[in-house]
Structure 1
């Protein structure tokens, strides 16, 4: 009976993949969004729309070529990939991973798996099921900054005083400091108790529910001292990337949600991805925690929603040189602190990417450069709050295998 249920699940996933590939349809939800410029916040309502826009991404077509294999996986049957595919499946099994995962190169999708993962309609999660990817959002924010630099609209040496003249520490901090996590600014999420000291609301409530305006956020920022001299050390702070989102809005005159859609999602055909949005998730959340509601206040730092197919498309475009200039991509991967570049962590000699955790979700997006396969993309998400460690184990297992190739 168990084997029959697995085969039924895989057949359903494969049918859904082929359906998406054939019609290029989009099952997206509009949302509670913000059309704010920096310094304002607008309340909106949730609306659901159906889109029939043709996708320009390659990922959906590639996923449809995968074949069924036992244990919740669809795989590429090319013999040259079988050892790698086996390593990925073994990594997921040995780590007791429950969630969705994809393995791809620039030319092929090698694997999609969804052990124990369900969508909100109680069907198995598929490559288009939408997850909250948390701090992986920072990679998208860094891309937008690099695009504006490529367009000559800003520079890495711009200081914060250019964009926030009332900020007394702004003359000391550059865009590069924000990108590289070397600003000295306190993390408003992980140190909310200090950042929002004296607030009428509980700090944890502030960073988990809607309501924080840009004006309020900046007033708390301006009251903070720097915790080290900018550029002298690396200290991860969500505040850096939220500020970058506000700067993007100032320069473009558009909301962060709209500019990311226009500059990244739409050109790549990422129809199952969104920024600063609520209500479009199609993955089953943990019932005790639910979805992330602090989207407006987290823009730039942890607001992106996406799916496995779209994230493969994004990775291929970014690291293939289709989104930013060669110089900007090199800067993103310049790990001066030996740990953090621009929206990317260094995971080893030949691997980099980003991890994300928000509400009940944990995600990994890792790029491993190999001689045998070129760039290999390992992407995974789970909505089970107890699966974060298992996801990390699985990712480490696969990336370590590839590092040795």
Structure 2
């Protein structure tokens, strides 16, 4: 749930080639390369016209016992949970239990601006309610059970970020509140509502509201890559994110869910169209991802060391879902490889070899960098002969040298190219480039 990479660019480049021949060998080669270099742990499933055409899993459910992952492994999917929650809200609308324009003061009288914030504002992140995961002390309590009353208290205590419906800004608080509204309306716990309204009717046998990780139930631990080794992550207590990020699933189930959603089997097509209407980058539980001239719809997710992406191309009836429990290579690049394999577009395989760079050269790159292209500053420093990058307000991360002046961070698909003579640094990510100047 907490953003950890310096730029979140889930945007693909443009072009116009299409092929119905799926190049599975290319994707196999990428996963072989990732596994050989210990760069990734996770599962992918690709479905066309409702039929699975490709699955792959690499890595471990539990590194300590060497329990290997399989296509049956279940992952915490983080914010992809929001698509399920938004669907449940629209189901409640269809059952005349709520309407999108009603304000939330009936449910949350202590939340600031509750008399002017609507359910619709919560759905498309236009409420102005602060995101509790951005609180300085969040990581001090995120592994502990939190009651409904305590979560409402935490959300109510936050400052107003902006006036309702004046802009869009992502906030996990919105979907925690939506979860509580659903519980109020149906007089049942969120997990039971999810099961009754979505997972059971669609026969999603590997999808449910998560609890403490249970390896015996084909669930997996999550890991972060630290100094060349996988380090086991702590577990967020699932009482906290609920419908904002507490669902467990796997790629095959996620594909089936999005196929069913876009076929009108979850909510009406009219309501689906509302969900996928983008305003200030956000739909209602759905995000839009362009690939060449095509559009896909879905969501991304991240919680603890888990990272996931699910997307659906309505025209091609193509669903792709990727769930991971250890990322040393960017999920977005894996998705690009999968799409290039389907649409017959070029893809460059990663190179994981590194080169040694002298401390003097590393020191010449150190400093603060800024750009007029995006509101972001990056500090570069040399720590124990490793270049470290840190964007404003975000965690630092180590860089690997692929050339004397080119460095990368595979987990986020970031490449930094330095020109010491001009005091410049170029950031490359997601097919985009940003020129930074040393300040």
- TM-score w.r.t. the length of structure 2 is 0.65
Asked if the contact 2:130–2:161 (Cα under 8 Å) also holds between the matched residues in 1, the reply is yes
Post-superposition Cα deviations, 1:112-141, rounded to whole Å, max 9, x if no partner, equal 011335568745422221111111111111
- Seen in structure 2, the aligned counterparts of structure 1 residues 162 and 91 have a Cα distance that, compared at 3 Å, is farther
Q: Distance in 2 between matches of 1:134 and 1:289?
A: 17
* Cα distance in 1 between the residues matched to 2:221 and 2:147: 29
Please point out which of 71, 85, 90 is paired with 1:141: 85
1:5-34 deviations in whole A, cap 9, x for unaligned?
A: xxxxxxxxxxxxxxxxxxxxxxxxxxxxxx
Q: Aligned-pair distance for 1:403?
A: 7.1
CA 1:279/1:351 → structure 2, altered by over 3 Å: closer, same or farther? same
Instruction: Tell me the equivalent position of 2:323.
Output: 381
For 1:144 and 1:99, the matched residues in 2 are separated by: 28
- Is 1:268 equivalent to 2:202 in the alignment? yes
Gaps of 5+ in 2: 1-18, 224-229, 346-439
Matched, 1:206 2:141: yes
- Rounded to whole Å, the distance in 2 between the matches of 1:396 and 1:161 is 43
The CA deviation at 1:385 is 4.1
Q: 1:224 & 1:115 partners in 2: Cα distance?
A: 41
8 Å Cα contact 1:276-1:296 kept in structure 2: no
Tell whether the 8 Å contact from 2:168 to 2:279 is kept in structure 1 after alignment.
Answer: no
Matching residue of 1:398: 338
- For 1:237 and 1:404, the matched residues in 2 are separated by 37
Relative contact order higher in (CA < 8 Å, ≥ 6 apart): 1
Instruction: Flag the 1:361–1:83 CA change in 2: closer, same or farther, 3 A.
Output: same
Distance (whole Å) between structure 2 residues aligned to residue 328 and residue 92 of structure 1: 38
**Rg larger for:** 2
1:121-140 → structure 2 map (5 Å cutoff): 122-140=66-84
Match of 2:24 in 1: 85
RMSD of Structure 2 on Structure 1 (CA): 2.5
Task: Specify the SS of the correspondent of 1:288.
Answer: strand
Q: Which has the higher helix share?
A: 1
1:367 correspondence with 2:304: no
Q: Which ranges in structure 1 are unaligned for 5 or more consecutive residues?
A: 1-79, 194-201
Structure 2 counterparts to residues 330-369 of structure 1, below 5 A: 330-337=273-280, 339-348=281-290, 349-369=294-314
Q: CA deviation at 1:350?
A: 1.1
Cα deviation 1:63-82 (Å, max 9, x = unaligned): xxxxxxxxxxxxxxxxx854
Matched, 1:215 2:159: no
Q: Secondary structure at the match of 1:172?
A: coil
Following superposition of structure 1 onto structure 2, how do residues 6-405 of structure 1 map, counting pairs within 5 Å? 81-86=20-25, 88-89=27-28, 92=31, 97-118=40-61, 122-189=66-133, 191-193=134-136, 202-207=137-142, 209-280=143-214, 282-286=219-223, 288-290=231-233, 292-337=235-280, 339-348=281-290, 349-370=294-315, 374-387=316-329, 389=330, 391-399=331-339
More strand by share: 2
Aligned to 2:416: none
